[in-house]
Amino acid sequence: MPQPTLLTGRVLRTLADPFTTHATEALRIETDWGVMLDNGLIADIGPVADLRRNWPDVTEISYGRDLICPGFVDAHVHYPQTAIIASWGKRLIDWLNSYTFPEEMRFADPAYAAEVAARYLDLTAANGTTTVCSFCTIHPTSVDALMGAAQSRGQRIVAGKTCMDRNAPDDLQDTAQSAYDDSKALLEKWHGVDRLSYAITPRFSPTSTPEQMSAIGALWAEHPECLMQTHLSEQTDEIEWVRSLYPDARDYLDTYEQHGLLGANGLYGHAIHLEPREQDRLKEVGAALVHCPTSNTFIGSGLFDMAGLKAAGQRVGLATDTGGGSSFSMLRTMAAAYEVGQLRGTPLHAAQLMWLATAGSAEALRLGDKIGTLEKGREADLVILDLASTPAIAQRTDRADDDWEEVFATIMMGDDRAVRATWIGGRVV
């Protein structure tokens, strides 16, 4: 295991949800603080003088005025779409047919799946992301590739085999029975091993028959401790498609609810065009919604109502949604969330954005007791941000009146150059 290490600099502390508590009271930036790492966990946190006194004779790494943060948590991604990120000009359904499905067919090849899985984890670590929740493809090899790559890196990850038995190319369809059997076998192989978790994963209602939805719902009922991830109300034409495929459903969410796919451990990506009944039911069961702002603007889906949904008490995480999303960076994703908020007349504070990318997403994944905050006993996943990483950002931070102005400039203009270091499981990567 890694040797005890003291990281010193400015430290981001998470004390509350900044959507329910004043933003700068909920998250605080402490100067001359440190984080003590030992045996893959956060062993202590506090003023540097106290930590040096309490932990003599340890390795100390000084990050100066860099900001020591929880590692970023990306709550909705498609790692198989790594190679087709930033593909031009399609709406959702055309985008799937033109780019996504042809690429996903390649993941029947274990070598290709392993190559992309390693590349994806390299790219996300370079951007300060330490945990992702990923859709794979219908191929069990795609799950094995990502889980194996994450396991070798000591990384916490959530992933699952995508299930589809209609409205997709023949080579990307399973069946109700094979989706159940394959998902169950993968769940039993990977869930709870080291830092790995399995998510039961129907892609979305249009690509699963009612029979498959019921089979997947039955599996979730057998393993309610697992997350279930899918898509909900991303685009208006998608919603009309769902209505035509499920004429007896009250709304889009009901296509999941009727088949046992609505629950507290449910993750519903996008959730832009929700009906009042859908909002009420999601809150009632305690499900989580995942905001994917770069994806929503890139393929023209709409503007997520962050302020309204959080005010109503919904649980919300943040995600890149790569490759429909146009960046592997959670900094860019936070910037896009700010821009979406502006378009809705409700701009987000930098503390709210940082919370969404860390504690908020961790809580959405039901991992808030393990990751997402810098607290004693949490897993030692951190990102160190250089708040003056480029000349353009540095000249802006020189004019900043407080720490949060510096953070905001990096959110809006930062990229992987702002990531001084990424720590996963107490090791710098």
What confidence score (pLDDT) does residue 99 get? 86
- What are 419's strand-pairing partners? 385
Tell me, letter by letter, the H, E, C secondary structure of 211-224.
HHHHHHHHHHHHCC
- Looking at this protein, which amino acid is placed at residue 212? Q
| Mean pLDDT (whole number) for 362-376 | 98
- Kindly state the helix (H) or strand (E) to which residue 177 belongs, with its residue range: helix 176-190
Average pLDDT, the chain: 96
Return the percentage of the chain with pLDDT > 90, whole number. 93
- Report helix, strand or coil for 358: helix
Least trusted range by pLDDT, from 97-106, 246-255, 297-306, 349-358: 97-106
Contact status, residue 289 vs residue 309, Cβ threshold 8 Å: yes
Over 90: is that where the pLDDT of 193 sits?
yes
What is the rounded distance in angstroms from the CA atom of residue 178 to the CA atom of residue 215?
A: 10
> Given this model, what pLDDT does residue 87 score?
83
- Residues 109-138 have a mean pLDDT of 98
| Cis amide bond preceding 266, omega within 30 | no
- Residue 16 phi/psi, 5-degree rounding, is -165, 175
How many Å apart are CA 13 and CA 206, to the nearest integer? 42
Q: Answer whether residue 1 shows pLDDT above 70.
A: no
**Among residues of the chain, what percentage have pLDDT more than 70?**
100
Q: Which helix (H) or strand (E) holds 404?
A: helix 403-413
pLDDT band, very low/low/confident/very high, at 88 (cuts 50, 70, 90): confident
User: Among 62-66, 88-92, 308-312, 375-379, which is the least confidently predicted range?
Assistant: 88-92
pLDDT digits (tens, 9 = 90+) for 336-362: 999 999 999 999 999 999 999 999 999
Q: In which residue are the tokens 């954005």 written?
A: 353
261 pLDDT above the threshold of 80: yes
Domains of the chain from N-terminus onward: 5-70+372-428 (2.30.40.10), 72-364 (3.20.20.140)
Rounded-to-integer distance, Cα 9 and Cα 356, Å: 22
Categorize the per-residue pLDDT at 2 as very low, low, confident or very high, splitting at 50, 70 and 90: low
In this prediction, residues 177-200 reach a mean pLDDT of 98
Two structure tokens written together for 347 = 């701009």
- Per-residue pLDDT, averaged over 112-136, amounts to 98
Output 299 or 70, whichever has higher pLDDT.
70
pLDDT over 90 at 367, yes or no = yes
Over range 373-377, report the average pLDDT.
98
- Taking the model in full, what pTM does it have? 0.97
Instruction: Give tens-digit pLDDT for 270-314.
Output: 999 999 999 999 999 999 999 999 999 998 999 999 999 999 999
**Is 106 exposed, middle or buried (CB count within 10 Å of its CB: 0-12, 13-18, 19+)?**
middle
Give the contacts of 319 (CB within 8 A, at least 6 positions apart).
74, 75, 76, 77, 133, 269, 290, 291, 292, 325, 333, 361
Sign of dihedral through CA atoms 429, 319, 335, 299? positive
With contact defined as beta carbons under 8 Å apart, do 38 and 94 qualify? no
- pLDDT tens by residue, 17-31: 999 999 999 999 999
Indicate the pLDDT class of residue 97, thresholds 50, 70 and 90: confident
Q: What is the DSSP string of 234-265?
A: --HHHHHHHHHH-TT-SSHHHHHHTTT--STT
**Helix or strand holding residue 409 (H, E):** helix 403-413
